[in-house]
Structure 1
């Protein structure tokens, strides 16, 4: 069903012939594996690469996608573009349906697939992530309708993996942000702590290299976020990172050594970090 595929220049020429029409597009890695499916018209397919090249994570709607694009560019390769299908202006519903079909086909990273998409297509009809079906759990790890800031951060975490309680919270919804001190009791490395580090690294475009410092606080889709007090304490006590202290807990960061990166890889998996553009 593919209408056209190629590099950015050749696909731009193809789309000029179809100006004003809707289309479904697929962005792929150099080896041909898709990493993003979208819909749009005119130059929409190319806005993602332009956004990633600006390298301004505060305004990025999907850091996983942008980090993958930056990794492709760092490796001296190029994003592959595919125009899956083209639709007239009165066929927008068909365009949306086709987008959802492709997302379902390739699956998102947190579903065991290859796509960095956070949403499943067809807007709210398909749901933004798979862990928000239970409305009770939605308050902690899903997308509470009455708390948009929490929903935005939860969506970021759901793109990483399922958690029973999200380790990153909106700053303005925390009664007090405490300086990080190691927990007094023994702590072992955990996936919940790993998710917190991955979330901050993803949102800030931090590559997981030895001596990388991952900030405790970051901004995602306009929401000021911070790794919560207990998780910060656990990270240090479990030896998952070294604390870079600050007089202001909002400007603390977590430095990762080579062995601590190896620990993160062991907890989360190398493939998952590579697919999100962090390694």
Structure 2
């Protein structure tokens, strides 16, 4: 790990002071190998697990099967995710200090429901760092109260979920994004545009282009997906451009809604990464890490893949392709 964890070390000290140690005194920490031995003796079962830091304080409660408990530490063996959660960084603090994460397996069950029940009970008793009332706060980095991941979500989890949901939104900017995209492609059930305000994940953070997947398994001809095609068509329509090779357009889009001011939207980073990988667009002038100044250029695949999904007649009617071109 080569990223800075100093601020998370300070937060970890605060996290460990929360909660009542008596609520987790019954947990028995084990090494990874000890935990694996115990799980091998119960193949196919469901279990509840607890990750414990090098101070002996629980940091996460989960449920799973097979080797699920070990996935969290395994994330640190490769490239760090772009979104580093509290849990990810709490684990990183221990690993960077040269300590191992320990595991507790308080319950192994024949069915899923019992594992969920214990997970929720432990989270409630030990306490989460992210809760509304300080009286209930504890050292756990769990973003929800357990179960299927939607019970009593933290403000961070609520925001992440709201940004990923598809459909009409009470927020006028998000509603404008949904309506604009759904009018282009009613079959698409994915957010590809988001309001500019508060957008903190920029194209300068995009990964280098990698060979895209294809329907045949070859990297020479990326597959035409509706999400990819809709992304480039939306960019062309919003900028008043044709789907021509090397046409440059701003990443920041102004969508007319009939209101006094146009809505400012940007292409969501996941959607943008997808079309970059598919050799449909190239991100230009991205050194400022600011969507307002970034420029996107269509590449040779943009028109070809959009044609496969929409057909020439629809692209012409949308104004992004000239007739008989």
* TM-score of the superposed pair, with normalisation by structure 2: 0.42
Greater radius of gyration (CA): 2
* TM-score of the superposed pair, with normalisation by structure 1: 0.49
**Larger relative contact order (C-alpha < 8 A, sep ≥ 6)?**
1
